[in-house]
Structure 1
Amino acid sequence: MAKDRSPDAETSLSLRAAWLHYVGGLRQAEVAKRLGVPSVKAHRLIQKAVAEGAVKVSIEGEIVACIELEEALRRRYGLDVCEVAPDLDEGGLPLRTLGRAGASFLRRLLELGEVTTIGISHGRTLAAMVQAMPNLSMPDRRFVSLMGGLTRSYAANPHDVMYMLAVKTGASSYVLPVPFFANSIEDRKVLLAQRGVSEVLEIARSAPVKVVGVGSAGSSAQLVVSGLIRPGEIEEISKSGGVGEMLGHFFDREGALVDTPLTARTVTVPLEKGRGDRIIAIAGGEEKVGPLQAILRSGHLSGLITDERTAQQLLAR
């Protein structure tokens, strides 16, 4: 079993705060905004790093390499939020790493209190994030599914994920009880005409923060494995240049949207630049580097939470 070398969440956050303050030259108010915490907590985090001896001529700790990767990714892709979690040598899809990092981010977002409605998408990574979430009391918050998700077989059932979020936080939870992809354009129109469906989709569309996963456009894509789309459909998308998927929208290597036969049948929130939405992707692993880079190039992401190894590969390309 690989040794868990990651610092606890509070130590990791204090090192980030100290690095941004002493090395990055940010004022404490700016550090608080960057980390998504109140100013008082930012001050305490910096003082914690000082008290524990992390602040010397330089800031010591394994997390420093991650902070440098965060800053490099932030500059390259124009991100407002970027967090890189230390590599735990998981191999493949680093669910434990991403789950912990995502849970830490979501908890801070909830506790800050500036956002009351948060949109959540599908996927194993999002499910791992919710599983890693501690129990909180946030009855005035609400979560909403960003897309339909009914399927006969799905390891990370979105309805289970939303239910777990409600149980762990006491928040309201809204789901879309419809398929991700309708059988036809006409069927999609019928589904969207249902009052309950249209109301939930509007809540999802207006959610100021949307936390999403990233998918690939290959035969091993989770959309194919879960039975949401057929292998032949993903092959067509790949032949059309699609390499990455987010919220049911496919992108080519340069970040341009790919119009596919599925596009007009997808039950999901639209991607609207200029609305001021904060879309935060939680993704990592060897198979996600290409898809993630495509989506980063699209300009639709305002934030990224990933692992150290994925961050290094993104910057090396």
Structure 2
Amino acid sequence: MLGLVRDDDSSMATRAAWLHYAGGLTQAEVAKRLGLSSLKAHRLITKANQEGLVKVYIDGEVAECVELEQALSRQFDLDYCEVVPDFDDEDLPLKALGISGAQFLKREIERSDDMLIGMGHGRTLAACVEYLPRVVTSNVRFVSLLGGLTRKFSANPHDVIHRLAERTGAEAYVMPVPFFANSVEDRDILFNQRGVREIFDLAAGANLLMVGIGTAEPEASLVATGMIEKGEIEDVKRAGGVGEILGHFFDLQGTPIETTLSDRTFTLSRDQLSERRIVAVAGGKVKLRALRAVLASGLLSGLITDEATAQALMAVSP
């Protein structure tokens, strides 16, 4: 979140509290991670409690993260940016991103009188819903932004709509089709089925689009969950594809990649995504190049990421 930079002690106290309470590290582990004595780590965590920084989640800003948020916002023309202090797996920090994404979603739910939130799917967004506390709302609705079934019409294990409905009691609309159809003809037939067009129209009118970022690697979540075949992702990669958002692939310069999948995707078009409020939750070494590609596309208006990824993004930026 953007805000004023706190003094060094408060910044360190926030970091220590985050590592201890959100990261689950012992005070001794916090001391080792921050290069402090155990006594100093204890005092910082105590200070965080005394200053009211520790509530249900960490309510404070780490100075280094705030600076990265401001730099990323300027570099990629973002309206919103949140950088999470590191404490998680470097390859894919699901816990850190999940906690931060859940906080963001909770704030959006609580401040909205009448809102329709479109949701993507994937491991990171599933983690956001996992860490979202139960909150009853009648003012917010959710809608899936893309097909949530695999090619065999089994449920995507990382589809989040049903879990969101359980956590919030809100109305939630599912896209009852696969992410990618087997052929253009299949897509046209399914698209014209009763109820499918209505859900697409609903998704096109969402106030906020919360999405994950996918890669074009053989081990991508899209392949692992059976949404697409390994050969199809290899075609995308050969065409220069690096990053994916809502079924649209981009190269490192942010240029759209047209492949055999392009006309078979059950999702909003790139034109429908333009000038929308789209917030991505993504980070980790495995997503770095993909995130760079999607940021370069200019589609994102907001980003929630981890500290190491933010530093890496700025290190390669002009």
Question: Does the TM-score normalized on the shorter chain lie above 0.5?
Answer: yes
**Equivalence map 1:138-157=2 (5 Å):** 138-151=137-150, 156-157=157-158
Shift of 1:65: 0.7
Supply the AA of the counterpart residue of 1:243. V
How many angstroms apart in 2 are the aligned matches of 1:262 and 1:53? 51
Q: Is 1:138–1:171's contact at 8 Å kept on the other side of the alignment?
A: yes
Give the counterpart letter for 2:206 in structure 1.
A
What is the aligned partner in structure 2 of residue 135 from structure 1? 134
Indicate how the Cα distance of structure 1 residues 115 and 243 shifts in structure 2: closer, same or farther if over 3 A, else same. Answer: farther
Task: Provide the rounded CA distance (Å) in 1 between the counterparts of 2:247 and 2:270.
Answer: 10
Q: How many Å separate the matches in 2 of 1:262 and 1:244?
A: 14
**1:110-152 deviations in Å (ceiling 9; x for gaps):** 1111651000001000000000001111122100000002125
Distance 1:190 1:274, change over 3 A: closer
Q: Is contact 2:88–2:94 with CA below 8 Å preserved after alignment?
A: no
Aligned-pair CA distance for 1:63 = 1.2
Q: Which runs of 5+ in 1 are unaligned?
A: 1-12, 21-48, 55-60
Q: Which residue of 1 aligns with 2:111?
A: 112
- In structure 2, the gaps of 5 or more residues are 7-47, 54-59
Query: Partners of 1:200 and 1:306 in 2: how far apart?
Result: 29
Counterparts in 2 of 1:141-220, with a 5 A limit?
141-151=140-150, 156-158=157-159, 161-220=160-219
Once residues 204 and 250 of structure 2 are traced to their aligned partners in structure 1, the CA distance between those partners, rounded to angstroms, is: 20
Residue 278 of structure 1 corresponds to which residue in structure 2?
Answer: 277
TM superposition shift of 1:206? 1.1
1:45-92: CA deviation from partner (whole Å, max 9, x where unpaired):
xxxx9x9399xxxxxx87111111000000000000100011014232
The answer on 1:19 being equivalent to 2:20 is no
Q: Per the alignment, in what secondary structure is the counterpart of residue 149 of structure 1?
A: coil
Which amino acid is the alignment partner of residue 19 of structure 1?
Answer: V
Which deviates the most, 223-232 or 207-216?
223-232
Q: How many angstroms does 1:239 deviate by?
A: 0.8
In 2, the alpha carbon distance for the partners of 1:237 and 1:274 equals 21
SS of aligned partner of 2:121: coil
Q: Is it true that 1:88 corresponds to 2:81 in the alignment?
A: no
Aligned residues: 266
The CA deviation at 1:219 is 0.8
Aligned to 1:254: 253
Deviation string 1:93-121 (CA, Å, 9 cap, x unpaired) is: 10000000100011111111165100000
Change (3 A) 1:106 1:267: same
Residue 268 of structure 1 corresponds to 267
CA shift in 2, pair 1:261/1:277, >3 Å: same
Which residue of structure 2 aligns with residue 37 of structure 1? none
RMSD of Structure 2 on Structure 1 (CA) = 2.1
Q: 1:179 to 1:134 in 2, by over 3 A?
A: same
Q: Deviations over 1:245-287 (max 9, x none)?
A: 1100000110010001000000011122785410101000101
> What CA distance in whole angstroms lies between the structure 1 residues aligned with 2:63 and 2:179?
40
How far apart, CA to CA, are the structure 1 residues paired with 2:172 and 2:131?
A: 18
SS at match of 1:207: coil
For residues 166 and 80 of structure 2, what CA distance do their matches in structure 1 show? 27
Letter in 1 for 2:98: G
% identical aligned pairs? 50
**2:29 corresponding residue in structure 1:** none
What per-residue deviation string (whole Å, max 9, x for no partner) do you get for residues 195-221 of structure 1? 200001111111121000000001111
Indicate how the Cα distance of structure 1 residues 155 and 207 shifts in structure 2: closer, same or farther if over 3 A, else same.
closer
Look up the match of 2:32: none
Structure-2 separation of matches of 1:222 and 1:157: 9
Distance in 2, matches of 1:273 and 1:295, equals: 16
Distance 1:79 1:68 in 2: 14
Change in Cα spacing, 1:204 to 1:191, as seen in structure 2 (3 Å) is same
Kindly tell me: are residues 114 and 275 of structure 1, through their superposed partners in 2, closer, same or farther at Cα, counting changes over 3 Å?
farther
Q: Could you tell me which amino acid in structure 2 is paired with residue 314 of structure 1?
A: L
